[in-house]
């Protein structure tokens, strides 16, 4: 896991290979507020130790809030270990998010803080306001805007499949050629939010305007290196997403061909 410090935020960066497509960043974040906030808790893979990685950034015992942008497995890997390591921490999620978590391992309700899009929470030296990103793959998704740093944490929205592990592990999108970045973002939009092709264009477009009104200085996405000063470019990408080619994944024949390519010669 790579660690990047960006102002008040630390990025805990991981990534996954996507066969045939590239590499997908998987980020968690720490907001070093007066009441420290951990945003998501990484991959649910047996060889990951999120709490140990967090320990290189801060003492887990000092965590006060865990903002769960949504309860997919690439966001919840270290959640329960962190709850044990951080006895003061409470999980910020929605009613739906807590319900989805309960299908695997229920959250302790006395450590849950329910927050809906449009609502805010004071974390000591700044206010975080929740919002529903224009693109999302889970009904519990809530990102937030930090009024002090003007950083927008967008969950899956704005993510991209990138061409190499090195780029996926980078500290910013400046190393990604613009055409590669846009293609990767549009691909991810159609993979993660396939409903975007079926939505009313005007109503969908209206969901972008609140983000434009935030005028964020930096966008932090779970699935993209950090992006400073790219907001308008990203909003234009969102506007174009409904017209992007729908994603069609490999079928069984393609899977068999991939598996055959991995077999040692002579087997």
Average pLDDT over residues 109-129: 97
pLDDT in tens, 83-107: 999 999 999 999 999 999 999 899 9
Tokens standing for residue 120: 């805010």
Element (H, E) at 145: strand 143-146
Tokens standing for residue 68: 């769960």
Give domain 2-262's CATH number out of 3.40.50.150, 3.40.50.720, 3.40.50.2000, 3.60.15.10: 3.60.15.10
Q: Please state, in angstroms and rounded to a whole number, the distance separating the CA atoms of residues 136 and 69.
A: 10
Nearest-CA neighbor of 195 among 252, 153, 139?
A: 139
pTM as predicted? 0.94
Element (H, E) at 146: strand 143-146
Name the β-bridge partners of 107.
none
Q: Which residues of 190-221 are buried (b: 16+ CB within 10 A; e: fewer)?
A: bbbbeebeeeeeeebeeebeebeebebebbbb
Q: What percent of the chain has pLDDT over 70?
A: 98
pLDDT number for residue 265: 53
pLDDT in tens, 193-217: 999 999 999 999 999 999 999 999 9
pLDDT in tens, 32-76: 999 999 999 999 999 999 999 999 999 999 999 999 999 999 999
Q: Please state, in angstroms and rounded to a whole number, the distance separating the CA atoms of residues 245 and 120.
A: 36
- pLDDT surpassing 70 at residue 257: yes
Q: Please state, in angstroms and rounded to a whole number, the distance separating the CA atoms of residues 252 and 256.
A: 6
pLDDT in tens, 136-148: 999 999 999 999 9
Q: What separation in angstroms does the CA of 15 have from each of 21, 26, 138, 139, 252?
A: 13, 5, 20, 24, 25
Element (H, E) at 66: strand 65-67
pLDDT number for residue 263: 65
Average pLDDT over residues 235-241: 98
| Sequence-ordered list of residues with C-beta below 8 angstroms from that of 224, at least 6 positions apart, any chain | 25, 27, 158, 159, 160, 173, 185
pLDDT number for residue 260: 87
Q: Which residues of 38-76 are buried (b: 16+ CB within 10 A; e: fewer)?
A: bbbbbbbeeebebbebbeebeebeebbbbbbbbbbebbb
Element (H, E) at 167: helix 165-168
pLDDT number for residue 264: 62
């Amino acid at each position: 896991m790579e660690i990047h410090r960006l102002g008040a935020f630390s990025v805990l960066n991981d990534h996954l290979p996507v066969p045939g497509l590239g590499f997908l960043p998987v980020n968690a974040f720490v907001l070093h507020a007066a009441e420290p906030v951990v945003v998501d808790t990484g991959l649910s893979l047996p060889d990951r130790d999120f709490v140990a990685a967090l320990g290189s950034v801060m003492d887990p015992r000092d965590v006060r809030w865990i903002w769960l942008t949504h309860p997919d497995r690439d966001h919840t890997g270290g959640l329960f270990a962190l709850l044990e390591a951080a006895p003061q921490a409470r999980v910020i999620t929605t009613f739906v998010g807590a319900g989805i978590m309960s299908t695997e391992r229920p959250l302790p309700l006395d450590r849950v803080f329910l927050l809906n899009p449009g609502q805010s929470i004071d974390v000591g030296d700044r206010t975080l306001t929740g919002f529903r990103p224009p693109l999302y793959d889970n009904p519990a998704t809530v990102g937030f805007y930090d009024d002090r740093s003007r950083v927008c944490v967008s969950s899956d929205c704005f993510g991209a499949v990138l061409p190499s592990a090195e780029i996926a592990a980078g500290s910013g999108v400046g190393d990604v050629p613009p055409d590669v970045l846009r293609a990767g973002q549009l691909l991810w939009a159609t993979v993660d939010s396939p409903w975007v092709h079926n939505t009313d264009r005007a109503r969908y477009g209206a969901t972008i305007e609140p983000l434009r009104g935030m005028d964020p200085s930096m966008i932090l996405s779970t699935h993209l290196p950090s992006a400073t000063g790219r907001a308008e470019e990203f909003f234009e990408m969102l506007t174009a997403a409904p017209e992007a080619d729908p994603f069609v994944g490999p079928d069984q024949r393609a899977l068999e061909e991939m598996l055959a390519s991995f077999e040692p010669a002579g087997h």
